């Protein structure tokens, strides 16, 4: 069995990177953090921090020497740039690469075909080709929507503003997973090294529908004054295609719409209830009360 001790975490200062760093330290891994040359973060003194140029394969290879696993939590806009660090990880003989995925199940053909995932699909294909015939393996982590992040960003529900969109009537089930759950699940993949090699792992936090989320949010802020809109994800997708065609550079016009289609629509693989890796990784699905607590903590 592979012994995984030394981890590099690239993007440790982000929304997911912070809880990921915490989970790795809790599990007593020896962690090195990669951060951009231009970044100016402060880290706890016992963490090794390396400033890197994410396009310099030679420099990245040198910085990755002796590392067992590489976890990448860089921002969505930098996903395409992972090719360089993948080249470096394979050259350095790293045992496991976990790229910056952490979203919908893009093995679902309908989700995979949405332009918003083009970069992530490209990176998966790149990793698979690069790892072939080498000792380097990979794991993709899927968690569908981030629960707490989605409440903060008001993309699941706007609790303070008391607004919610009921996609396709609001009864379609989908998975929503807290950041700390994603982090724990990712770390658990290192401990179940063989079982998680060269495949996608699905982490299932809570099972929600928009109607259920509304009820749970109402337990925290009451039932009065809600603005509830019914939205068809088919229309949202059509609009996103039109915006993409007319003005591809304006990502606000299409990215979010495609994400909504993938997360909330029937048939796009957003409900992990019956097919997930929680049991393998020792994770327990959240109860309704846990979701209420998550809402209360950020209301
Ligand atoms: N499922 C969901 O609902 C959901 C929601 C949001 C995000 N995600 C996914 O989760 C992953 C992590 O996203 P996040 O929101 O946690 O990221 P984030 O907070 O936006 O950024 C993470 C880190 O990336 C680094 N970074 C920023 N710009 C960069 C650039 N141009 N090149 C290289 N590194 C850069 C920064 O670290 P340094 O300053 O230290 O270099 C930053 O702290 C992404 O794959 C994203 O698509 C999923």
Full 3-state SS string of 176-191: EECHHHHHHHHHHHHH
Average pLDDT over residues 22-39: 97
Q: Which of 15, 75, 118 to mutate to test the pocket of ligand 1 (most atoms within 8 A of CB)?
A: 75
Inter-residue contact 124 to 199 (CB < 8 Å): no
Confidence of residue 109 (pLDDT cuts 50, 70, 90): very high
For the cut 80, the answer to whether the pLDDT of residue 2 exceeds it is no
d(CA 171, ligand 1 centre) in Å: 30
Average pLDDT over residues 29-54: 95
Average pLDDT over residues 36-55: 94
State both tokens at 125. 């294909």
pLDDT at 45: 85
Average pLDDT over residues 171-193: 98
**Ligand 1: which residues within 6 Å by Cβ?**
11, 13-17, 35-36, 39, 41, 54, 73-79, 81, 100-103, 143, 145-146, 149-150
| Rounded Cα distance, 297 and 148, in Å | 9
Average pLDDT over residues 3-11: 96
Residue ID of nearest Cα to ligand 1 atom 24: 74
- Candidate CATH numbers 3.30.565.10, 3.40.50.720, 3.90.25.10, 3.40.50.1820; the one for domain 146-175+206-271+285-298: 3.90.25.10
Which tens digit of pLDDT belongs to each residue from 54-95?
999 999 999 999 999 999 999 999 999 999 999 999 999 999
Average pLDDT over residues 240-254: 95
The rounded percent of the chain whose pLDDT value lies above 90 is: 97
pLDDT at 195: 98
pLDDT at 44: 87
| Rounded Cα distance, 186 and 145, in Å | 16
Averaged confidence pLDDT in the chain: 97
Residue ID of nearest Cα to ligand 1 atom 30: 78
Contacts of 110 (CB under 8 A, 6+ apart): 262, 267, 268, 269
Contacts of 170 (CB under 8 A, 6+ apart): 164, 209, 210, 211, 214, 230
pLDDT at 1: 55
Instruction: From residue 37, give the alpha-carbon distance in Å to each of 50, 54, 55, 198.
Output: 9, 9, 11, 31
CATH superfamily entry for domain 6-144+177-202: NAD(P)-binding Rossmann-like Domain (3.40.50.720)
d(CA 27, ligand 1 centre) in Å: 22
Shortest-distance atom of ligand 1 to CA 39: 39
Q: Which of 9, 11, 142 to mutate to test the pocket of ligand 1 (most atoms within 8 A of CB)?
A: 11
Q: Give the start-to-end residue ranges of the domains of the chain.
A: 6-144+177-202, 146-175+206-271+285-298
Average pLDDT over residues 106-134: 98
The strands making up 174-177's β-sheet, listed across from edge to edge, are: 145-146, 174-177, 206-208
For the cut 80, the answer to whether the pLDDT of residue 214 exceeds it is yes
Residue ID of nearest Cα to ligand 1 atom 46: 76
The rounded percent of the chain whose pLDDT value lies above 70 is: 100
Shortest-distance atom of ligand 1 to CA 77: 31
Q: Is 29 helix (H, G, I), strand (E, B) or coil?
A: coil
pLDDT at 3: 83
d(CA 222, ligand 1 centre) in Å: 34
State both tokens at 241. 């295609």
d(CA 139, ligand 1 centre) in Å: 18
């Amino acid at each position: 069995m592979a012994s995984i001790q030394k981890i590099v975490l690239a993007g440790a200062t982000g929304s997911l990177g912070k809880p990921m760093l915490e989970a790795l330290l809790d599990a007593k891994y020896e962690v090195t953090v990669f951060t951009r040359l231009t970044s100016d973060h402060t880290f706890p003194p016992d963490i090794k921090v390396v400033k890197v140029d994410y396009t310099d394969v030679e420099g990245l290879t040198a910085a990755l020497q002796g590392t067992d696993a590489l976890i990448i939590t860089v921002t969505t806009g930098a996903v395409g740039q992972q090719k360089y660090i993948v080249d470096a990880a394979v050259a350095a003989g790293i045992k496991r690469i976990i790229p910056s995925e952490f979203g919908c199940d893009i093995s679902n053909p309908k989700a995979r075909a949405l332009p918003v995932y083009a970069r992530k699909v490209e990176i998966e294909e790149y990793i698979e080709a690069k790892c072939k015939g080498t000792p380097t393996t990979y794991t993709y982590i899927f968690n569908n929507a981030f629960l707490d992040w989605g409440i903060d960003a008001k993309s699941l529900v706007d609790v303070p503003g008391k607004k919610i969109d009921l996609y396709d009537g609001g009864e379609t089930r989908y998975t929503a997973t807290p950041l700390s759950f994603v982090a724990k699940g990712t770390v658990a993949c290192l401990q179940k090294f063989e079982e998680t090699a060269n495949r996608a792992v699905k982490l299932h936090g809570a099972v929600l529908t928009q109607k259920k989320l509304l009820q749970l949010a109402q337990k925290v802020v009451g039932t009065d004054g809600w603005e509830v809109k019914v939205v068809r994800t088919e229309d949202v997708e059509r609009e996103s295609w039109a915006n993409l065609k007319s003005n591809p550079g304006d990502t606000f016009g299409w990215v979010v719409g495609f994400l909504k289609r993938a997360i909330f629509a029937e048939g796009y693989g957003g409900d992990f209830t019956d097919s997930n890796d929680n049991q393998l990784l020792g994770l327990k699905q959240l109860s309704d009360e846990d979701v209420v607590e998550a809402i209360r903590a950020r209301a």
